């Protein structure tokens, strides 16, 4: 036996032990992220050890009346085995017992009528005396079982052990469903996005999804299409003069009636360019609702000459005074024939100076003409000879340099077009140029801004240290390096003792100065060890130390850090002495990924704090000494069922008028023994298990019920709720929200959803799908804590977001910190350029509110306006906040 098995074998499988073991199992994040094979290995090993059996295995029914071993763990040999199969026809009584019972608890497996068929060929040769089987039930269908095999004296299976086995089987069923869904989604995405034609999916005359080809074909982003009518990207009239909308409705009706209409259609791209397509519509039923599948094939390049959209005279008439681009046309010899006002402004010439007087190459930088003109001429010649052709054929856009009349060089993006008459004879060329000077400056500013946002997303705003997001990235890299180097990596969590007392006594400003000074001191120590310091929030820090050769090196660093913390620190003339508790976890001894290491170091840190030690190394035995967390984990489900939870509401006001225009729902738990539990503490525990779904359901339901109650007293404002990363991979969530709204007769416009950028990291594709489905219900969406997550700008472009919330870390010091002020100013401008409403969080004083008003920030919330308050107090606050008649 290995040490882990021995440690478990020394105990009995008590109810408390089994409960903790099951909690540890379902909290293992790798079950849901590292693939089905890894998940099954984790389950059988964990179950074998905590149940103290020789072997634990998972079996699946297959075709041809077989059951196959998907995964088996032998605790004595510390090995895995797969592939063994049994014939169901040879063991009819045994398999009938599995299919008809929740568990098969054979204490004397040799004589038990349910299992004695196995005795001669399997049980006796293996020395197995007792068997416990739990059926894997997937929606009423038995798909296999989880089998526990005991060697030695007969074993009487307790009720708690039978319940544990059944729970393990239910977990396996969930894993099969989860990974089957992921596989199906992957296959769907591959087929969907690899299709050469554009594909749209619409419901109730609204586009709800499209593939990548559609975005390329229409020259747009996903948010430009989703939510639109299927005929949105069409001109008012089709080529035959028919009204596009009326004709589209006719084809849609045909498809909904069971037909499969195929027809030619004139579409327009996002930039207004028309093009011909061939469309096929089909109707399918998904989740009980009719959906249209539209396949669009671009046939514009092959359309005959009679269907040309643009005639030469129309094109020339487009060269008007209002054009934003410099447009210059020439004859076949390159002599300028037209020169629009934008070209005059860009190049400094009057059109009378150039038309029929200058060769177009005289406007270009001479070096470029000599080196690039031959290649361009070859391209134009090739385009001129193509047949059949449309009226205009574009060469690749290229960056060129124009020369101003005064000799100044002007970088432009130049597109060259071949002009032909109706007899397909080349009559000249058309150049359309865009000045890149302003664009490049905007691009540089945007890149700088993006880099600043990315830095803020990965660093703590107070100390400048890398934050939790950066810790996850760095840990992943260092763990991979440790694997190749066969060295150790340590993760330490550091929590200051009684720091809250300093904040309460001397104020948060002094506390902040103290944290900054401490961070500087700790970094001085860590530089000698090539280790990195992270601030996770509050007074909690993390230290990542790689390339260790021994545990002693980790102990040595922990001691140095502890000594450093105890050094007196001066803050605003006050000399303060601190102490801290450090928890240490080691890769690969204590965990194979950052999530496991964080959990183990957290357990070790609380053990050090409880025993008044400076630091503690994680050990399995410490897990049983976290009564507060175990108690919360065990009782959170009951708290949800018995309504121990409550919702508080923080108002949101319109900055210009001070009127309340909404509020945010915030959950609170007043535990009967532990008192008020911080939301960050129990929400984090819920996210580690399936409890998060029940908790989210409770919040959504009670928020909707509160909307209904307030509307009865004439308070008609939207209520915002927060969704976590686990919620955004729950494909059933949109239907749940829709059902709760209908049950309470509340319109969707009164509910708002807030999501953080980091919630998209684990499975962005599925999260985006869930968000789009929620938005289709008519629910407004907001990005919360903007700039602190990941890929900020890409999510603004891709997701159906209406509101952006500026994180309080930017707002807090915007009056004192020029960099924070610039971030707030730029963020508001960026949001407005996307057409978004802005909410500033964490407004703590009137000066900040006035500064936000000057920046045209629409909405604000924070303690200066109102703290989160219970529903009854909110009614009173709301009535007092209304403007009086004298103020109107």
Contact criterion met (CB below 8 Å) for 488 and 607: no
Q: At what angle do helices 679-687 and 691-712 cross, to 10 degrees?
A: 130
Q: CA-CA distances (angstroms) from residue 448 to 65, 573, 807?
A: 64, 38, 19
Q: CA-CA distances (angstroms) from residue 233 to 275, 291, 300, 308, 654?
A: 10, 19, 15, 19, 35
Distance of CA 689 to the CA centre of its chain: 18
Residue 310: the pLDDT is 36
Task: Provide DSSP, 415-459.
Answer: EEEEEE-TT--EEEEEEEEEEHHHHHHHHHHHHHHHHHHHHHHHB
**151 backbone φψ class: left, alpha, beta (φ>0; ψ -120 to 50):** beta
**132 backbone φψ class: left, alpha, beta (φ>0; ψ -120 to 50):** beta
Residues 6+ apart with CB under 8 A from 172: 40, 43, 58, 136, 144, 146
Using one digit for the tens of pLDDT, what is the confidence trace for 330-351? 888 889 988 888 899 899 999 8
Give the homologous superfamily in CATH for domain 195-301: PAS domain (3.30.450.20)
pLDDT band at 317 (very low <50, low <70, confident <90, very high): very low
Residue 383: the pLDDT is 59
CATH code, residues 314-439:
3.30.450.20
Mean pLDDT of 232-237: 87
Of the listed ranges 445-459, 552-566, 600-614, 785-799, the least confidently predicted one is: 785-799
Residue 738: the pLDDT is 93
737 phi/psi in degrees, rounded to 5:
-60, -45
Contact criterion met (CB below 8 Å) for 375 and 368: no
Of the listed ranges 143-147, 218-222, 306-310, 346-350, the least confidently predicted one is: 306-310
> Long-range contacts made by residues 36-39, C-beta under 8 angstroms, separation at least 24?
36/175, 36/176, 36/179, 37/71, 39/175, 39/179
Neighbours of 643 (CB within 10 A): 9
Mean pLDDT of 538-567: 90
Contact criterion met (CB below 8 Å) for 653 and 661: yes
Of the listed ranges 50-54, 178-182, 270-274, 554-558, the least confidently predicted one is: 178-182
* Mean pLDDT across the chain: 81
Instruction: State how far the Cα of 71 lies from the Cα of 478, in Å rounded to an integer.
Output: 31
Residue 392: the pLDDT is 38
Mean pLDDT of 316-322: 39
Distance of CA 667 to the CA centre of its chain: 22
Residue 318: the pLDDT is 41
313 pLDDT exceeds 60? no
Instruction: State how far the Cα of 705 lies from the Cα of 687, in Å rounded to an integer.
Output: 24
624 pLDDT exceeds 60? no
Instruction: State how far the Cα of 609 lies from the Cα of 583, in Å rounded to an integer.
Output: 9
Q: What residue has token string 């409880």? A: 610
626 phi/psi in degrees, rounded to 5:
-120, 65
| Peptide bond preceding 376 in cis form (omega within 30 of 0) | no
End-to-end CA, the chain: 81
Residue 629: the pLDDT is 66
Residues 6+ apart with CB under 8 A from 208: 201, 202, 226, 291, 772, 773, 776
Nearest to 464 by CA among 421, 412, 523: 523
Residue 301: the pLDDT is 43
Instruction: State how far the Cα of 781 lies from the Cα of 831, in Å rounded to an integer.
Output: 14
Q: What is the pTM of this model?
A: 0.41
Q: Is 427 exposed, middle or buried (0-12, 13-18, 19+ CB in 10 A)?
A: middle
Contact criterion met (CB below 8 Å) for 359 and 373: no
Of the listed ranges 58-62, 314-318, 635-639, the least confidently predicted one is: 314-318
438 phi/psi in degrees, rounded to 5:
-65, -40
Domains 195-301 and 461-625 share a fold: no
pLDDT band at 528 (very low <50, low <70, confident <90, very high): confident
Angle at 255 between CA 252 and CA 260, to 5 degrees: 125
Q: Where are the domains of the chain?
A: 3-187, 195-301, 314-439, 461-625, 632-877
Using one digit for the tens of pLDDT, what is the confidence trace for 359-378? 988 998 888 888 877 777 76
Angle at 828 between CA 470 and CA 452, to 5 degrees: 30
Q: What count of residues does the chain have?
A: 888
Instruction: State how far the Cα of 527 lies from the Cα of 397, in Å rounded to an integer.
Output: 51
Residues 6+ apart with CB under 8 A from 873: none
Residue 372: the pLDDT is 78
pLDDT band at 36 (very low <50, low <70, confident <90, very high): confident
Structure tokens at 581: 């508790």
Fold of 3-187: Beta-Lactamase (3.30.450)
Residue 702: the pLDDT is 95
Nearest to 490 by CA among 415, 414, 556: 556
Measured torsion, CA atoms of residues 690, 695, 701, 704, in degrees rounded to the nearest 10: -130
187 pLDDT exceeds 60? no
DSSP 626: -
Q: What residue has token string 């909404």? A: 662
Residue 630: the pLDDT is 63
Instruction: State how far the Cα of 257 lies from the Cα of 272, in Å rounded to an integer.
Output: 32
Mean pLDDT of 799-808: 87
Instruction: State how far the Cα of 279 lies from the Cα of 256, in Å rounded to an integer.
Output: 15
Domain 632-877: which CATH number of 3.20.20.450, 3.40.1350.10, 3.40.50.300, 3.40.1160.10: 3.20.20.450
Residue 518: the pLDDT is 93
Residue 701: the pLDDT is 94
Query: Which of 473-477, 629-633, 671-675, 790-794 reaches the highest mean pLDDT?
Result: 473-477
pLDDT band at 749 (very low <50, low <70, confident <90, very high): very high
Q: What residue has token string 């020169």? A: 339
| Peptide bond preceding 388 in cis form (omega within 30 of 0) | yes
DSSP 396: P
pLDDT band at 311 (very low <50, low <70, confident <90, very high): very low
Structure tokens at 133: 């089987």
Instruction: State how far the Cα of 870 lies from the Cα of 879, in Å rounded to an integer.
Output: 15
Structure tokens at 749: 């416009």
Mean pLDDT of 587-603: 86
Residue 48: the pLDDT is 93
Distance of CA 427 to the CA centre of its chain: 54
More confident residue, 106 or 372: 106
Beta bridge partner(s), residue 722: 754
**542 backbone φψ class: left, alpha, beta (φ>0; ψ -120 to 50):** beta
Fold of 461-625: Alpha-Beta Plaits (3.30.70)
Instruction: State how far the Cα of 235 lies from the Cα of 881, in Å rounded to an integer.
Output: 49
Contact criterion met (CB below 8 Å) for 121 and 86: no
Residue 314: the pLDDT is 38
pLDDT band at 796 (very low <50, low <70, confident <90, very high): low
Nearest to 275 by CA among 233, 213, 220: 233
Residue 886: the pLDDT is 35
Instruction: State how far the Cα of 589 lies from the Cα of 604, in Å rounded to an integer.
Output: 14
Of the listed ranges 420-429, 511-520, 742-751, 813-822, the least confidently predicted one is: 420-429
Residue 393: the pLDDT is 39
320 pLDDT exceeds 60? no
pLDDT band at 302 (very low <50, low <70, confident <90, very high): very low
Mean pLDDT of 616-645: 76
Contact criterion met (CB below 8 Å) for 458 and 523: no
Radius of gyration of the chain (CA): 34
Instruction: State how far the Cα of 636 lies from the Cα of 690, in Å rounded to an integer.
Output: 11
pLDDT band at 146 (very low <50, low <70, confident <90, very high): very high
């Amino acid at each position: 036996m290995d040490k882990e098995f021995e440690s478990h074998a020394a105990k009995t499988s008590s109810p408390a032990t089994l409960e903790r073991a099951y909690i540890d199992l379902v909290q293992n994040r790798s079950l849901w992220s590292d693939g089905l094979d890894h998940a099954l290995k984790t389950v059988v090993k964990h179950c074998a050890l905590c149940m103290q059996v020789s072997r634990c295995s998972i079996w699946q029914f297959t075709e041809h009346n077989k059951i196959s071993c998907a995964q088996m763990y032998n605790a004595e040999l510390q090995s895995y085995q797969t592939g063994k199969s049994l014939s169901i026809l040879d063991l009819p009584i045994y398999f009938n017992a599995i299919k008809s019972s929740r568990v098969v608890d054979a204490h004397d497996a040799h004589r038990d009528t349910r299992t004695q068929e196995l005795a001669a060929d399997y049980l006796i040769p293996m020395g197995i005396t007792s068997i416990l089987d739990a059926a894997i039930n997937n929606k009423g269908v038995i798909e296999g079982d989880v089998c526990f095999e005991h060697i030695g004296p007969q074993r009487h299976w307790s009720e708690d052990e039978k319940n544990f086995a059944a729970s393990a089987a239910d977990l396996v069923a969930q894993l099969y469903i989860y990974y089957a869904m992921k596989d199906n989604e992957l296959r769907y995405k591959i087929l969907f996005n690899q299709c050469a034609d554009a594909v749209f999916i619409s419901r109730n005359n609204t586009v709800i999804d499209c593939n990548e080809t559609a975005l390329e074909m229409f020259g747009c982003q996903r948010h430009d299409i989703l939510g639109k009518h299927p005929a949105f990207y069409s001109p008012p009239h089709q080529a035959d003069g028919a009204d596009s909308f009326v004709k589209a409705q006719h084809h849609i009706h045909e498809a909904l009636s069971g037909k499969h209409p195929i027809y030619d259609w004139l579409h327009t791209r996002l930039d207004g360019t028309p093009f011909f397509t061939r469309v096929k519509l089909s109707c399918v039923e998904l989740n009980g609702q009719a959906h249209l599948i539209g396949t669009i094939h671009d046939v514009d390049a092959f359309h005959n000459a009679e269907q040309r959209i643009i005639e030469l005279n129309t094109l020339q008439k487009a060269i008007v005074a209002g054009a934003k681009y410099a447009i210059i046309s020439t004859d076949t010899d390159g002599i300028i024939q037209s020169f629009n006002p934008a070209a005059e402004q860009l190049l400094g010439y009057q059109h009378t100076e150039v038309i029929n007087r200058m060769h177009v190459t005289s406007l270009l930088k001479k070096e470029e003409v000599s080196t690039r003109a031959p290649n361009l001429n070859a391209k134009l010649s090739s385009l001129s000879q193509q047949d059949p052709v449309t009226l205009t054929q574009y060469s690749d856009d290229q960056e060129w340099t124009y020369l101003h009349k005064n000799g100044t060089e002007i970088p432009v993006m130049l597109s060259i077009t071949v002009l032909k008459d109706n007899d397909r004879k080349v009559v000249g060329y058309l150049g359309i140029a865009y000045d890149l000077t302003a664009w490049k400056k905007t691009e540089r500013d945007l890149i700088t801004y993006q880099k600043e946002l990315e830095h803020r997303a990965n660093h703590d705003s107070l100390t400048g240290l890398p934050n939790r997001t950066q810790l996850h990235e760095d840990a992943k890299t260092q763990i991979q390096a440790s694997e190749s180097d066969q060295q150790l990596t340590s993760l330490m969590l550091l929590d200051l003792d009684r720091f809250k007392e300093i904040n309460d006594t001397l104020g948060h400003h002094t506390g902040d100065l103290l944290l900054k000074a401490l961070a500087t001191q700790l970094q001085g120590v860590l530089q000698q060890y090539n280790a990195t310091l992270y601030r996770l929030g509050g007074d909690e820090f993390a230290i990542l130390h790689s390339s260790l050769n021994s545990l002693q090196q980790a102990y040595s660093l922990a001691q140095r850090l502890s000594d450093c913390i105890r050094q007196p620190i001066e803050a605003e003339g006050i000399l303060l002495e601190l102490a801290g508790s450090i928890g240490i976890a080691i890769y690969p001894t204590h965990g194979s990924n950052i999530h496991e290491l964080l959990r183990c170091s957290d357990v070790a840190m609380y053990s050090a704090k409880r025993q008044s030690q400076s630091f503690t190394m994680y050990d399995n035995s410490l897990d049983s000494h976290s009564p507060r967390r175990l108690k919360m984990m065990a009782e959170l489900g009951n708290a949800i069922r018995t309504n121990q939870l409550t919702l508080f509401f923080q108002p949101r006001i319109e900055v210009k008028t001070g009127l309340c225009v909404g509020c945010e729902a915030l959950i609170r738990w007043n535990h009967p023994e532990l008192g008020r539990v911080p939301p960050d503490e129990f929400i984090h525990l819920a996210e580690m298990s399936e409890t998060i779904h029940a908790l989210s359901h409770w919040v959504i339901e009670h928020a909707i019920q509160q909307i209904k109650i307030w509307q009865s007293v004439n308070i008609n404002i939207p209520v915002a709720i927060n969704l976590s990363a686990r919620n955004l991979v729950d494909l059933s969530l949109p239907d749940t929200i829709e059902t709760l709204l209908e049950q309470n007769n509340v319109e969707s416009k009164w509910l708002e959803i807030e999501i953080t950028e980091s919630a998209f990291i684990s499975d962005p594709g599925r999260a985006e799908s869930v968000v789009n489905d929620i938005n289709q219900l008519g629910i407004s969406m907001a990005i919360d804590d903007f700039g602190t997550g990941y890929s900020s700008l890409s999510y603004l472009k891709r997701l159906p977001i209406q509101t952006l919330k500026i994180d309080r870390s930017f707002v807090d010091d915007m009056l004192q910190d020029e960099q924070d002020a610039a971030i707030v100013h730029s963020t508001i401008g960026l949001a407005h350029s996307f057409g978004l409403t802005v909410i500033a969080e964490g407004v703590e004083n009137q000066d900040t509110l006035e500064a936000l008003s000057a920046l045209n920030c629409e909405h604000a919330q924070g303690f200066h306006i109102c703290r989160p308050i219970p529903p009854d107090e909110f009614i009173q606050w709301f009535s007092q906040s209304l403007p009086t008649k004298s103020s109107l």
